Structure 1
């Protein structure tokens, strides 16, 4: 596969690796971006990268909560300018409200009634008025004894670039108070799962493969190699334990009091975290980047 400058640039921006290292990684892995990231990590040339760091899109996350039920929705737009438009913000607000009431899926919400018309038709009407394409892309519904929400980089009440929901068991007043702190923590740290038990098995297996390959390669070039037993029984399990602590919500150090894990902080407050959702604008959406001058020239030519 031909390795392009754009591929090298993307890999460098994703991993922080040098240009030649990024190019070599792509060559060694036939242009496969995920495999190239793992290759660089094995060589100690890159940190773990989350998909959310490599994607971009515009729009807003809208959140709505009613007691033990909360929803986060994402509506995308073509430009960030539209996120500041009052019509677009009202659309996000209305769709979040309908999703909270009737939400089972995006398709169910699209077919629901909004001011005498379907949500889908209202979205199409907003597209026609504003003159920019929009997509009601996804939603996440969360239920629990108490559900608390938080919006980071808020554009208006209940909407912004990152929306977080946290479900908790325990006294409602305590759950509300510390739940907001947990939601802010989640916005900042972006945990991959609630706990080790809920971690995606493929994510854990991929990390294990990377850490195993990295430990073996380091040991092969060490001045004083360690016995295989130490590598497999101590070093690799230790690194996986650290990975899980850093990437599971309950295992993370609580940002407000790093001496405690989130799980310990919840216990001290007399509550239990049963679930969470963190939804950021653009996760999983590749945004096509064009040269601005070329885009202008193309418009003028048309």
Structure 2
């Protein structure tokens, strides 16, 4: 049997997109012949991943996982929404979330981590791509924890429990003893975050560059309206306060009681919860946000398929 080096396995993996263990098995099977190894993988249906890699993957699933005082959100993308209903893809996403909960938010570290005895997470993704026949990718992951309090989750229109198109985790810090009340409030706030999409918990959490951009937009707007320069600064400051009410969680009108802000609703719930409550942070993932989707010409696709079939 030929000596199969790590470099050979790496080269074959880059050529085919197949998993590391599959590449090693292929090279072993054909005594290190690279061309024959490619053919071996093709015959096994394991070299599809590389061919799929150029396709836009903006569908898939957002998954949430909470254990104790730590939670994680992950987004795993596929090309079509049909794959989100595939149990094998769902199992892949669940496994990735479990790894991310232990490893943390770094995508490359997650992909390099072991996947339940099936090579690495990257290997498992490649194997699932080859089996299902669509490009898939782990796009992002984020963890959230709380010292004392509760982590609440909400998935909008779940495909299966804890997996769907929009997922939210909210961390509530509280020394109150009413865990049930805290969990109920946390879920309501998670639903609010899903609906209202705040950019930060409060004004202090809004990126400074974003604030400056908003100020510049407001100032230009009022200059075009002919407002005097001496008045613009005060008008802009007032406009920024309005902006914070629109985009920060604690100042937004609470969807369950629009006459109150989320911050007011939290304050009023402290008695029932048995102690002060603070929103320590939140994660909101919406599937495919920010991905530029390709527009497809359905008629052209059908014609192309007909041409291939001819």
Structure 2-normalised TM-score?
0.74
Pairs within 5 Å for 1:219-230: 220=226, 227-230=228-231
Pairs within 5 Å for 1:143-182: 143-145=145-147, 146-170=150-174, 171=176, 172-182=179-189
Match for 2:305 among 295, 299, 302? 299
Q: CA deviation at 1:229?
A: 3.2
Alignment of 1:249 onto 2:253: no
Aligned equivalents of 1:263, 1:189: Cα separation in 2 = 14
Aligned equivalents of 2:57, 2:191: Cα separation in 1 = 22
Contact kept? 2:57, 2:135, Cα under 8 Å:
no
Larger radius of gyration, structure 1 or 2? 2
Contact kept? 2:57, 2:80, Cα under 8 Å:
no
Aligned equivalents of 1:56, 1:99: Cα separation in 2 = 20
Aligned equivalents of 2:153, 2:98: Cα separation in 1 = 14
Contact kept? 1:164, 1:187, Cα under 8 Å:
yes
Secondary structure of the equivalent of 1:122?
helix
CA RMSD of aligned residues (A): 1.8
> In the alignment, which residue of structure 2 is the partner of 1:102?
103
Aligned equivalents of 1:259, 1:94: Cα separation in 2 = 42
Contact kept? 2:57, 2:79, Cα under 8 Å:
no
The count of corresponding residues between Structure 1 and Structure 2 is: 241
Aligned equivalents of 2:281, 2:139: Cα separation in 1 = 22
Aligned equivalents of 1:76, 1:95: Cα separation in 2 = 12
Aligned equivalents of 2:146, 2:184: Cα separation in 1 = 16
Contact kept? 2:57, 2:136, Cα under 8 Å:
no
Pairs within 5 Å for 1:284-295: 284-295=290-301
Secondary structure of the equivalent of 1:140?
strand
Aligned equivalents of 2:96, 2:84: Cα separation in 1 = 15
- What 5-or-longer segments of structure 2 have no aligned partner? 1-55, 271-276
Match for 1:274 among 248, 270, 280? 280
Q: CA deviation at 1:228?
A: 3.8
